[in-house]
Each structure stands twice: as C-alpha cells, then as structure tokens.
Amino acid sequence: MPGSFVPAVVSRRRYQILGIIALAALVGAELLGLSASPPDRDMGHLQKIMYVHVPAAWSAFLAFFVVFIGSVLYLWKREERYDLLAAAAAEVALVLTALTLALGSIWGRPTWGVWWTWDPRLTTTAILLVMTVGYLALRSFVDEPDRRARWSAAVGILASLNVLVVYKSVQWWRTLHQVQSSPSTVDPAYALGLRLNALAFLLVLVYFILLRYRAARLERLVEAQAEARELAQGEELHV
C-alpha cells in the first residue's frame, strides 16, 4: 500500500529546523576555531585547516558506519527502509570523503610540499571514494528494487569495511600522512575548536542523511504508485 508509508515521511519543516541549527553550529564553531587559537609552532595558521579536514574525515567514517549498519540490517530483515538508509548515508559519505581529500590536498601543498602523493593513507582513501562511487552507480543501474537492495548491501558492506583499512593505514604501513593525533599530542588550545567543529559536522551529517533518506522514501513512493497504475491498466486490458 503506497499510502501506508506517507506518515513515516517526516514533514519538511522539522528537517529545516535541524538544518538551520546545524549550519549555525558550523559557522559558530568555525569562527571560534579561526579566532580563538594561536598559530602552531611548525605550521603557523595553516593548523586551522584541521578544523575542517579532521571533522570531515570523522563524519565520513560515521556515514560509512551507517552504510554498514543499514546494509547488514537489510540483508537480515529484508526491509526496504534499511536499504534506503544505507543509500542515503552512502551519498553523504561520498561528499564527505571527497571533501576530506580536497581539504587534505589544500593542507598538504603548503605543509608537506605536495598536493598529492601515493602514500597508503591517501591511496586507501582514494579507493574508498571510488568504491562509494561504484556503490551509487550500481544503485542507478539496477531497476528491480529487491535485487538492487541485495547487491548494493553487499557492496555497501565491503566499501564500509574499507574504512578500517583507511583508519589503520597509518599504523600498518609507512606513510607521509602522520599517525592519529590524540589529546596528548594536541594542545588544549586546538582541541576545543576541533571538538566543537566535530560536533557541528555531526549535526550536518545527521541533517544530510535524514534529508536524503526522505528523498529516497519519496522516490520509492512515486515508483510504487507508477507500478500500481501500470498494474491496474494491465488488469483492465485483460478483463
């Protein structure tokens, strides 16, 4: 019944409120980070890129975690909403991974001296990006909803497991990218801005996933209505 999942699609107004809060938090956290922290000993004010590059990477990882959960739940329960949740999260994960690479590149040029190098951290992240593009391409190639959901759940699990390799790459292999920072290696003067920006990115992440999930539900609703119409026309012809 197409009508049965209309109430589940939450009204747009509630999303807009969350969106405004997320945007305000992001602007506030960025301004605080930019104005309230001293230049770094080695890289001066270039350190400020940390406030966008690192939260982008963290929230990309979280988005992939949602892809993983959605994909596993779909294979287990076979309920469409889990497939749509994984798809919505994958779209956001793609944007955030691309953003992480772009910001990292902008940070790398003045500090490392290069826009790009094929070190294991950068290479595995590029693979993750390509796999996510593959996941979304697969979704648009398969028309039959059940088969699309099954196949993309498998690819979604593989792609999101790749996050573990990206995360551990700096420990497993020699890289130009440094290993993870921790509260003991980041001065409190920078940690506050980083945490607040991470929180703001988290809000943006939730907002984007909800927005794309809603769009996916509406798309399926339209698809189901079109199918029902065709079916009804077919029956009329047979009668």
Partner 1 sequence: MTPGSRRRLVLAGGAIVVLCGFGFLLYGGIGENLVYFLTPSELLARGERAYDTPVRLGGQVLPGSVRWDAEALDLRFRLTDGTQTLVVRSTGAPPQMFREGIGVVVEGRYREGGVFESTNLMVKHSNEYRPPAPGERPQDLYRTLLGEERS
Take residue 83 and report the two structure tokens written for it: 């497939």
Candidates 21, 69, 133, 158; binder of partner 1 (CB under 8 A) is: 158
Q: Which of 32, 69, 98, 175 binds partner 1 (CB under 8 A)?
A: 175
Stretch binding partner 1 (CB under 8 A), from 55-63, 106-114, 199-207, 219-227: 106-114
Which one, of 204, 192, 181, 182, lies nearest residue 32 by Cα? 192
Phi, psi of 10 (to 5 degrees): -70, 150
The 10 Å Cβ neighbour count of residue 7 is 7
| Alpha-carbon gap, residue 125 to 170, rounded angstroms | 12
Please report whether residue 35 would count as binding partner 1 according to CB under 8 A.
Answer: no
Residue holding tokens 């080695």? 42
Of the listed pieces 16-24, 168-176, 201-209, 224-232, which binds partner 1 according to CB under 8 A?
168-176
Taking the C-alpha atoms of residue 53 and residue 234, their distance in angstroms, rounded to an integer, is 54
Please, which residue, 59 or 71, has the CB nearer to partner 1? Answer: 71
- Interface with partner 1 includes 119 (CB under 8 A)? yes
Q: Is the dihedral of CA 125, 186, 35, 39 positive or negative?
A: negative
Looking at 83-91, 108-116, 213-221, 223-231, which segment touches partner 1 (CB under 8 A)? 108-116
Contact call for residue 186 and partner 1 (CB under 8 A): yes
Please report whether residue 159 would count as binding partner 1 according to CB under 8 A: no
User: How many Å apart are CA 79 and CA 73, to the nearest integer?
Assistant: 8
174 makes contact with partner 1 (CB under 8 A) = yes
Considering only residues 54 to 93 of the shown chain, the ones binding partner 1 according to CB under 8 A are: 75-76
Asked whether position 176 contacts partner 1 by CB under 8 A, the answer is yes
Query: Of 17, 27, 77, 110, which lies in the binding site for partner 1, with binding defined by CB under 8 A?
Result: 110
Strand partners, 44: 40
The reply on whether position 157 binds partner 1 by CB under 8 A is yes
Cβ within 8 Å of residue 223, ≥6 positions away: 145
Q: Is 36 exposed, middle or buried (0-12, 13-18, 19+ CB in 10 A)?
A: exposed
Min separation Cβ 162 and partner 1, Å: 10
- Residue numbers at the binding site for partner 1 (CB under 8 A): 38-44, 47, 50, 75-76, 110-114, 117-120, 154, 157-158, 161, 164-165, 172-176, 178-182, 185-187, 189-190
